[in-house]
Amino acid sequence: MASCGGGSAIIVVFVSSILVLLVLPCFSHPLCSDSRAPFSSKTPLLFCPYNGSLCCTSAQDLSLQKQFAAMNISHTECASLVKSVLCARCDKFSADLYTVQSTSRQVPLLCNTTTGSNSFCSQVWNTCQNVSIINSPFVATSLLSQPGTPVNSSSKLTDTWKSKNDFCSAFGGISPDDSVCLDGGPVILADKKPPSPPSGMCLEKIDNGSFLNMAAHPDGSNRAFYANQQGKIFLATIPKQGSGEEMKLDESTPFLDLTDEVYFSTEFGMMGMAFHPNFAQNARFFASFNCDKSKWNGCSGRCACNSDVDCDPSKIGTDNGAQPCQYQTVIAEYTANDTNSQPSTEARPIEVRRILTMGLPFTGHHGGQILIGPTDGHLYFMIGDGGGVGDPYNFAQNKKSLLGKIMRLDINTNPSPAEIDRLGLWGNYSIPKDNPYTLDKDLQPEIWAIGMRNPWRCSFDSARPSYFMCADIGQDHYEEVNLVTKDGNYGWRAYEGPNPYNPPKAPGGNTSRDSISPIFPVMGYSHSDVNKNEGSASITGGYFYRSTTDPCLEGRYLYADLYAGAAWAGIETPENSGNFTSTKIPFKCAEDSPIPCTYVPGNTLPALGYIFSFGEDNSKDHFVLASSGVYRVVPPSRCNYSCTKEKATTTSPPTPSHATCNYFGLTLSLISCFVLSYILMI
Ligand SMILES: *[C@@H]1O[C@H](CO)[C@@H](O)[C@H](O)[C@H]1NC(C)=O
Ligand SMILES: *[C@@H]1O[C@H](CO)[C@@H](O)[C@H](O)[C@H]1NC(C)=O
Ligand SMILES: *[C@@H]1O[C@H](CO)[C@@H](O)[C@H](O)[C@H]1NC(C)=O
Ligand SMILES: *[C@@H]1O[C@H](CO)[C@@H](O)[C@H](O)[C@H]1NC(C)=O
Ligand SMILES: *[C@@H]1O[C@H](CO)[C@@H](O)[C@H](O)[C@H]1NC(C)=O
Ligand SMILES: *[C@@H]1O[C@H](CO)[C@@H](O)[C@H](O)[C@H]1NC(C)=O
Ligand SMILES: *[C@@H]1O[C@H](CO)[C@@H](O)[C@H](O)[C@H]1NC(C)=O
Ligand SMILES: *[C@@H]1O[C@H](CO)[C@@H](O)[C@H](O)[C@H]1NC(C)=O
Ligand SMILES: *[C@@H]1O[C@H](CO)[C@@H](O)[C@H](O)[C@H]1NC(C)=O
Ligand SMILES: *[C@@H]1O[C@H](CO)[C@@H](O)[C@H](O)[C@H]1NC(C)=O
Ligand SMILES: *[C@@H]1O[C@H](CO)[C@@H](O)[C@H](O)[C@H]1NC(C)=O
């Protein structure tokens, strides 16, 4: 599995028994070095020259000022350079500047262009080499950590570093065109012209089944799991692109059948599944589903409406005839170990471990997707506000409630019964040490982000794992896509999308808009964009498209409306800026689709039914999971959509020196692309 922290990733690849070492910068959107999103300072900073979106509070600015003063740098020019080095903590890209190859640094990455001698790193060396600095940050980290190092000792760069080359290999990074590095002031991204929107998305239908979830097999093969809402998981084989074949999925032999435990109706059922990244070795996987307390005695969790969150279940009444917490949400672990060395193609329907059980106050908005974080291996669990118009109990903003949240659970460490008790956990999981409750004591320890209404489909960008995108279904007017970061508050119900929201009822109290700093959506659409009467609209979030099948969709974030009337492609300009614009894209079916698509006469869009979800397989191809079947994104030419990039890659044989692709923001030769595509697969 390819992984990268804030800075870059070293990936070891074995190709025909040759060891290839690739050092790949791995960029992030603006992010602070504590992994939280940048914010705007209410009062301007007095010391560091940063404004707008930044990573320092006034208190941190003041402490940098003190640190700087204590250095007692007499040389004016050098002092000004050192000040800009210290102040890089305030840059909105501080996570990128201070985290290189997953390790955090004392000194930010200093720009060090390989050509030209006057890079910022060279300037620091040339200007400061003989200047005395007290508690210099440029003392080698190994020296700093030695117990005998005197405090308040004065040193020159030349005391530690023999030459500019020495100094710049320790603190320098590649040129500002390719990477985020400190060039003396706020990081500015190269402003490339955004590519023109794709002319359309071409689909083929490969299965008639109706599924809510898809997960690529962690063994990297052409197989994937599909789960239906009723509670069955199937293991399917995906045909090669262009083969004209349907998907091989046998509905009579499910991989797992939980229909006896799962409560299935419009908003209930099997809502998520996740496979351990080492599934091929340990056979571990997880299912997230709803159950009915009156039908199964395994369905007996604490009610999410309780005195800790000022909610009295006896007062909230019944909802659609159901008692509060009659329906529950469950995450359970299963095994596909039939004692052979390979995971079996049929799993045991017996729970290995109950991860979580929680009673739902109402019958709506309970998300239920689960994902394993590509860099941390933790389980992310998406849950809505629990239902009711306008989140009447204000659960989504309540830091003690787990409703309306994204949770992050450690499923690789077993908690002791004492820990379950002490932290009031809802099941058998541990709390990751860096969950945001360590920064905000009011938060329940499971919480990663708050202020969600009903997150419907989140994904991690397979090329840049720090892009954790979550679509959140709106109330009356606005459907949104959020870029989710640690400790983020996505606003509901103080806001619906970017607009203030006033709830019709607030028996659970009200959160004032002034008391929170919401992070607004990066993309979205108004109900009026899909429906003239501001009627039904419901977002379904997708993935960043990273396949080479449709080069005109590369790097776009795809999403759609459940009612299948529209799909969008979002593009980020400049790359890594977190600034997105999205355009509606037409879509249709290839005429030679393995299973012919149906069209309603007079309608240009194929009749997909509801778009429940998107999926991504091990070749990074995209799938639309609709109520009418499974659709795959195919080359645009199969629908007569024009895409000049496609012609460039299909009509001429690939010549490594001309053909390039873009991974991790790096333009690579096609050979490296294939190598990369391969390693991203394994
Ligand atoms: C930040 O400061 C610069 C230079 O002083 C100024 O041009 C710019 O308008 C400021 N931006 C904001 C958002 O205040
Ligand atoms: C600061 O530097 C000045 C001049 O270089 C020197 O006289 C003074 O003693 C220094 N102060 C400290 C606290 O080292
Ligand atoms: C620093 O000191 C060295 C050795 O005394 C000298 O060669 C060099 O020119 C000095 N550099 C600066 C920028 O003063
Ligand atoms: C280091 O310097 C600071 C500021 O000048 C001073 O407050 C502190 O006492 C000094 N510490 C030691 C161990 O000398
Ligand atoms: C720039 O940094 C690299 C390591 O990041 C180092 O190997 C190289 O020598 C540096 N170049 C210069 C001109 O200092
Ligand atoms: C899929 O549905 C179509 C239309 O209802 C039908 O003709 C076809 O046989 C079905 N294919 C499979 C594999 O079930
Ligand atoms: C599979 O189960 C067998 C028997 O319970 C056990 O010995 C073995 O370690 C398990 N294998 C894995 C990969 O968990
Ligand atoms: C932990 O898992 C075991 C086995 O599935 C289960 O019996 C127990 O109830 C779980 N504990 C909690 C607190 O859910
Ligand atoms: C909730 O707060 C908003 C704004 O703070 C206010 O406009 C609204 O009237 C309040 N609603 C209730 C039911 O208290
Ligand atoms: C955001 O993207 C749009 C569309 O490409 C562009 O016009 C705008 O300048 C970008 N904004 C920023 C702050 O980069
Ligand atoms: C694409 O164009 C060809 C030739 O003009 C035409 O025969 C075919 O029907 C078109 N296909 C689609 C999906 O529009």
pLDDT digits over 255-300, tens only? 999 999 999 999 999 999 999 999 999 999 999 999 999 999 999 9
Q: Is residue 373 part of a domain?
A: yes
Lowest mean pLDDT among 17-21, 265-269, 491-495: 17-21
Tell me, what's the pLDDT at 112?
A: 85
Nearest CA-CA partner of 362 in 332, 329, 406, 405: 329
Cβ(577) – ligand 10 distance below 6 Å: yes
pLDDT digits over 122-176, tens only? 999 999 999 999 999 998 766 656 666 667 889 999 999 999 999 998 998 865 4
Give 648's pLDDT tier (boundaries 50, 70, 90). Answer: low
Cβ(282) – ligand 7 distance below 6 Å: yes
Q: Whose CA is nearest to atom 2 of ligand 4?
A: 152
| Distance (Å) of CA 404 to CA 170, 385, 493 | 44, 4, 10
Same domain, residue pair 220 and 132: no
- State in Å, rounded, how far the first CA of the chain is from the last one: 6
Same domain, residue pair 125 and 270: no
301: enclosing H helix or E strand: none
Share of the chain above pLDDT 70, in %: 87
Q: Is residue 184 part of a domain?
A: no
Alpha-carbon distance 206 to 241, whole Å? 11
What CATH number does the domain containing 226 carry?
2.120.10.30
Q: Is residue 671 part of a domain?
A: no
Tell me, what's the pLDDT at 650?
A: 55
Alpha-carbon distance 128 to 77, whole Å? 8
Same domain, residue pair 160 and 215: no
Tell me, what's the pLDDT at 437?
A: 97
Lowest mean pLDDT among 90-104, 248-262, 466-480, 553-567: 90-104
Give 22's pLDDT tier (boundaries 50, 70, 90). Answer: very low
Nearest CA-CA partner of 448 in 457, 438, 462, 456: 438
Share of the chain above pLDDT 90, in %: 74
Q: Is residue 256 part of a domain?
A: yes
Same domain, residue pair 162 and 298: no
Average pLDDT for 172-198: 81
Q: Is the pLDDT of residue 16 over 70?
A: no
Same domain, residue pair 271 and 409: yes
Same domain, residue pair 301 and 158: no
Tell me, what's the pLDDT at 145?
A: 61
Q: Is residue 661 part of a domain?
A: no
Ligand 2 site-directed mutation target among 71, 72, 73, 133, most atoms within 8 Å of CB: 72
Alpha-carbon distance 252 to 448, whole Å? 39
Give 151 Cα–ligand 4 centroid separation in angstroms.
8
Tell me, what's the pLDDT at 269?
A: 97
Nearest CA-CA partner of 174 in 114, 247, 263: 114
Alpha-carbon distance 324 to 307, whole Å? 14
Q: Is residue 1 part of a domain?
A: no
Residue range of the domain that includes 118: 10-174
Lowest mean pLDDT among 102-111, 487-496, 576-585: 102-111
Q: Is residue 195 part of a domain?
A: no
Residue 541: alpha-carbon gap to chain centroid: 12
Cβ(510) – ligand 6 distance below 6 Å: no
Q: Whose CA is nearest to atom 9 of ligand 7?
A: 339
Same domain, residue pair 156 and 209: no
pLDDT digits over 551-603, tens only? 999 999 999 999 988 999 999 999 899 999 999 999 999 999 999 999 988 88
Tell me, what's the pLDDT at 679?
A: 33
| Burial class of residue 380, CB neighbours in 10 A (0-12, 13-18, 19+) | buried
Number of domains in the chain: 2
Q: Is residue 257 part of a domain?
A: yes
Write down the pTM of the prediction.
0.90
Other CB atoms within a 10 A radius of the CB of residue 134 amount to 14
**Contact yes or no for 249/226 (Cβ under 8 A):** yes
Average pLDDT for 450-465: 97
Tell me, what's the pLDDT at 147?
A: 65
Ligand 5 site-directed mutation target among 117, 165, 183, most atoms within 8 Å of CB: 165
Mapped onto helix, strand or coil, the DSSP state of residue 650 is: helix
**Ligand 8 atom nearest to 332, measured from its CA:** 5
